[in-house]
């Protein structure tokens, strides 16, 4: 039986008869009454500190060669220890195995200068590049063949035009056709304007 049940029995009420607000009010009054009777705890006198230890200097420090990972490096942080000795001690501490653990998540931890070969795998990009090279070689080969073919065709074409010009008088007339009247009229108008100025 709890303390609350015993108090309720003494008062003649049950938990079911008492509503939430009534129970809360009663408990609040009881806690206020119990806090009144509590005496404050007397403060403990502060522990007397012994005389402060003198701060260590460079002469008080152990040799750097004798320091291990388990050694106490806190005396080296004293204000009276020289900066150069403090740096040497901290360098020895941070070069220990406890501080030199590589987790493998660094961007620069891997060597990206040497790539493993793909073997017989041909990627889509490699196929595309090979196709481009083949197309380029075909175009260069065709470009070399065109000047040779044009050189062979040119003397025959020139000979054919000369033959038509010698054998057919109309061919010569077609090449020396007079200009249409509209063009000659425009040229005459231009000449008139030039003479006026």
What gap in Å lies between CA 184 and CA 179, rounded to an integer? 7
Q: Which residues contact 62 (CB under 8 A, 6 or more apart)?
A: 71
> Per-residue confidence of the chain (197 residues) as pLDDT tens digits?
566 666 666 665 555 567 898 889 888 888 877 665 556 566 666 666 677 778 888 888 888 888 888 888 888 998 989 999 999 999 999 998 888 887 778 777 777 788 778 777 888 888 999 999 999 999 999 998 887 777 776 665 555 555 555 555 554 454 445 555 555 555 555 655 656 65
Separation in Å, CA 158 to CA 149, 151, 153, 155, 163:
14, 11, 9, 5, 9
What's the token pair of residue 146?
């065109």
State whether 128 and 171 are in the same domain.
Answer: yes
- pLDDT tens, residue by residue, 104-144: 787 777 777 887 787 778 888 889 999 999 999 999 999 98
**Residue 130: inside a domain:** yes
Counted domains in the chain? 3
Q: Report how far Cα 185 is from the mean position of its chain's Cα atoms.
A: 74
**Residue 39: inside a domain:** no
**Residue 105: inside a domain:** no
State whether 94 and 136 are in the same domain.
Answer: no
**Residue 186: inside a domain:** no
Q: What is the pTM of this model?
A: 0.31
**Residue 187: inside a domain:** no
State whether 128 and 170 are in the same domain.
Answer: yes
State whether 93 and 135 are in the same domain.
Answer: no
What's the token pair of residue 174?
């077609």
69 touches 97 (CB < 8 A): yes
Which run of H or E residues covers position 108? none
Q: Which domain holds residue 30?
A: 3-34
**Residue 183: inside a domain:** no
Query: Within a 10 A sphere around the Cβ of 81, how many other Cβ atoms?
Result: 19
State whether 29 and 62 are in the same domain.
Answer: no
63 touches 88 (CB < 8 A): no
State whether 30 and 62 are in the same domain.
Answer: no
DSSP result, 133-173? HHHHHHHHHHHHHHHHHHHHHHHHHHHHHHHHHHH-HHHHH
**Residue 189: inside a domain:** no
**Residue 181: inside a domain:** no
């Amino acid at each position: 039986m709890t303390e609350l049940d015993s108090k309720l029995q003494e008062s003649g009420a049950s938990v079911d008869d008492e509503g939430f607000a009534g129970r809360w009010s009663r408990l609040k009054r009881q806690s206020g009454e119990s806090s009144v009777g509590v005496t404050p705890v007397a403060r403990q006198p502060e522990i007397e500190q012994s005389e402060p230890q003198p701060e260590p200097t460079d002469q008080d420090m152990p040799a750097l060669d004798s320091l291990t990972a388990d050694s106490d490096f806190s005396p080296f942080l004293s204000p009276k220890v020289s900066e150069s000795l403090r740096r040497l001690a901290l360098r020895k501490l941070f070069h220990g195995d406890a501080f030199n653990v590589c987790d493998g998540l660094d961007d620069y931890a891997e060597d990206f200068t040497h790539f493993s070969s793909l073997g017989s795998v041909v990627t889509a990009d490699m196929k595309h590049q090979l196709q481009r090279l083949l197309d380029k070689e075909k175009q260069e080969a065709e470009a070399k063949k065109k000047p040779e073919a044009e050189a062979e065709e040119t003397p025959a074409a020139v000979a054919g035009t000369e033959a038509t010009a010698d054998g057919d008088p109309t061919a010569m007339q077609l090449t020396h056709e007079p200009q249409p009247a509209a063009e000659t009229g425009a040229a005459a108008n231009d000449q008139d304007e030039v003479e006026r100025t």
